[in-house]
Chains A and B, each alone.
Chain A
Amino acid sequence: MTVSAQQNNAVVAELLSLHGKDRSHLITVLQDIQQHFGYLPRQAVTQLAQRTGISANEIYGVATFYAQFRFIPPGEHIIQVCQGTACHVRGSWQLLQELQQRLGIKPGQTTADGRFDLRRVACIGCCALAPVVTVDGNVHARMTPKEIALLVKQHSGKKDR
């Protein structure tokens, strides 16, 4: 999915009028752009730079500092494997390994068919139910490699959103 320049302009303009051009709102605006497009399109960053007077360099400097921001379009389903301590001691690395094998990608990548994104997440705070995995934001508790395989299968079909 590519985003047209026009769409970019409109979104950036609207967000800036909502939050203001002040530097202190930069991260919030970037978060909203990502919320809208699923990532930070280059065009949108250029637009943002033009409209705020903050250089694109500077904006990328901020955006790349934070783990939340992405610079390529996301896959259809986003699988996040929690890497918290409780999840780690309860075997989350096995889950990650299983997913890497099954999807044929590494964390941070998208499958060739654009179906899945595999990501690590620092900790989502469901430590008491470790290990946990989220698929499109839904938390799945006490996962095993077997159940992971099932989850992947469930989401491999047609778009169900």
Chain B
Amino acid sequence: MTALQQAFETAAQQWRQLEESKTPVFFVGAATCGRAAGAIEVIERLKNEIKKRNLQAQVIEVGCLGPCSMEPILIVHKNGAPRLCYGNVDPERISAILDRYVAGNDPCPQWALGRMTQGRIDGIGDIADHPMFRAQVRHILKRCGLIDPENVHHYLANSGYRGFLKALELGRDGTFDEVRKSGLRGRGGAGFPTWRKWQLCRQTASDIKYLICNADEGDPGAFMNRSLIESDPHSVLEGMLIAAFSIGAGEGYIYCRAEYPLALHRLETAICQMRRLGLLGSNIQGSGFSFELHIKKGAGAFVCGEETALIASIEGRRGMPRPRPPFPAVSGLWEKPTIIQNVETLANLAMILDNGAGWFVRYGSASSKGTKTFALAGKINRTGLIEVPLGISLKDVIYDIGGGVGAGKKLKGVQTGGPSGGCIPADKLDLPVDYESLTASGSMMGSGGMIALDDDTCMVDIAKYFLSFTQAESCGKCPPCRIGTRAMLEILEKIASGRGAADDMDKLGTMAQTVRDASLCGLGQTAPNPVLTTLRYFGAEYEQHIQKRQCPAFVCAALVSYHIDAERCSGCTACVKACPVEAILGERKKPHKIDQSKCIHCGVCLDTCPEAYAAIYRSSGSLTRYEQRKSGESKS
């Protein structure tokens, strides 16, 4: 029996034991996002409490289940009961859950997000009926948050490496056919059909071919790849095996951001496990196929997400793109045919092979097959990592899954595609989420960042934000991008600081076209998108900045001033103490005043003023905005 066959048996046994465990098992979501929310403290507390109570129990660190706004997340297995998932778990809740549910009979439904397995518990529904999960179809994320990402047996017990074994059975051409039939398109942004890329590489004769996994998730506001690698690293690596096998690559690289230390650690661990199981090296599983895998740490350059720049970086050079053709599939890394694939594209491969292309095409729309993960963030109630069938409407994502914007706020738009994408206005939310529709709207699918914007977001500021990002990340090789983004940014800065001129919007539009048409690589070609879409859909907001010198969202610091309403101010001195530049004058119990000559418009006073008084108000041009006073000890 081979090491892999043996591991499959051990895995099945281990998983069964876990499912039927007589003693409690606690699963804590401890990916980077969970850790930021306090998962490590939760694990420590759990272990201490278990010791204190002399309990026989296991604590297992799992990845990210997705609903980040409810982290830390704890799943509790108790013998004879369905597994329960709890959100916002803090040390107090742990003690309570241990006392009342594990030792007693109260499942604490007030903290539960849902049941993870079959069974009945009063007051706790199936997690699939939770509003955040209801509209989701979780295929890529099916194991995330449920398995120990550092235990390969957990992966093997949950259809792990079955797709690769199937590929070996089908052979190189059979595997290629299956991927072609699935219609899978690259999940990194542009949506190029995976099989066409492969075909180009397969047709190129070469003794050496390379496969690269692009895990340089540089889009600010996107964390799908990080989460997937941290939660289920083998799913990506299995995809690499399948791709390498079909295109005939003998060596592969994973190019992963250095900003993702946990993901890097998980990859290293997983690769060691693959080696032990005979899934790497020469003559893998007796198939004659040999493959070696290396990790390359990115060094912080957004442009390295571009294929040719990424290749330059792996070769140890400045990460600058070069003109295509030749495409990397023909001449890439060290001038050998090279296929570069996004993390999520690779993770799809194992499922396509295991379940068949027929299964895959059942999900998605006519031209965009399958499911797609999105990082839902920004001004929205439920943030996190989600997976939906392509073709779902933006509205369903924002309102059903994300729960809409905060109370009293209005959704203004949705930003998709990061710095290469654009802002889709709230009245266009019926738009289906697929490659063609998003591109037609002026935005793009991108890798999957989805940021909700509400009326506190200034669209000029958003355009400025993205452009300052691309401008800083422009590698400087081609002038349209290097000079164009800078010139555009200067105009945006002018507008945001109240010095905009009447023809600035036209100028911006013209420059944007030039940069888009004349830049060398994808970074420059798409950099104008945030500007173009905000000009197109939110032109009135630009006009307000230019003509009335006012920022309707009260964001652009130079156009906003802060004041204290003497009627509302109780003289508590909270703002006086908080002001970083000592611009607020006033004695206790007497109304305070802001010295406008010192004020730096940072807004700290606004955040500090107790909600019961809400005495700070902002003005911008002819607009004034007061914060709502919350009930409580209001001044009388």
Q: Which residues of A contact B (CB under 8 A)?
A: 22-28, 30-31, 61-62, 65-69, 83-91, 94, 97-98, 101-102, 121-130, 132, 137, 139-141, 144-146
Most chain A CB within a 10 A radius of its CB, from B260, B384, B604 = B604
Pick out which of these stretches binds chain A: B19-27, B116-124, B374-382.
B374-382
Asked if residues B217 and A125 are in contact (CB atoms below 8 Å), the reply is yes
Give the Cβ gap from B19 to chain A, nearest Cβ, in Å: 30
Assess whether A128 is in contact with B68, with CB atoms less than 8 Å apart: yes
Q: List 21 A-B contacts (CB under 8 A).
A: A23-B317, A65-B475, A66-B300, A84-B220, A85-B418, A86-B221, A89-B379, A89-B457, A122-B302, A125-B32, A125-B223, A125-B375, A126-B32, A127-B375, A128-B383, A129-B68, A129-B69, A145-B607, A146-B578, A146-B604, A146-B607
Range for the number of chain B residues in contact with chain A: 35 or more
Per the 8 Å Cβ criterion, residues 45-70 of B in contact with A are 68-69
Task: Indicate if B102 sits at the interface (CB-CB under 8 A).
Answer: no
Judge if B462 is at the interface, Cβ distance under 8 Å.
yes
Q: Which 5 A/B pairs are nearest by Cβ-Cβ distance?
A: A128-B68, A85-B221, A125-B223, A67-B300, A66-B299
Cross-chain contact A122 with B602 (CB below 8 angstroms): no
A126/B604 in contact, CB under 8 A:
no
* B449 adjacent to A145 (CB under 8 Å): no
Residues of B within 8 Å of A86, CB to CB, are 220-221, 377-378, 383, 451
Contact between chains at B297 and A65 (CB < 8 Å): no
- Asked if B36 and A140 make an inter-chain contact with CB atoms under 8 angstroms apart, the answer reads yes
Q: Which of A26, A66, A91 is packed against the most chain B CB atoms within 10 Å?
A: A66
Of B35, B316, B578, B603, the contact of A27 (CB 8 Å cutoff): B316
A127-B313 in contact given A97-B600, A97-B602 (Cβ < 8 Å): no
Q: Which applies to chain A's interface (DSSP): helix, strand, loop or mixed?
A: helix
Are A128 and B318 within 8 A (Cβ)? no
A-B CB pair tally, cutoff 8 Å: 165
Say if the beta carbon of B201 comes within 8 Å of chain A: no
- In the complex, are the beta carbons of A28 and B297 less than 8 A apart? yes
Nearest-neighbor residue (CB-CB) of A91 within chain B? B603
Q: Kindly state the separation between the CA atoms of A132 and B35 in the bound complex, as whole angstroms.
A: 12
- For residue A125, which residue of chain B has the nearest CB? B223
Q: Are A89 and B260 in contact (CB under 8 A)?
A: no
Residue of B nearest to A85 (CB): B221
Please tell me if the beta carbons of A89 and B259 are within 8 angstroms of each other in the complex. no
Closest to B383 in A: A128
User: For residue B71, which residues in chain A have a CB less than 8 angstroms away from its CB?
Assistant: 129
Cβ–Cβ contact A123 & B315, under 8 A = no
Nearest CB in chain A: distance from B574 CB, A = 10
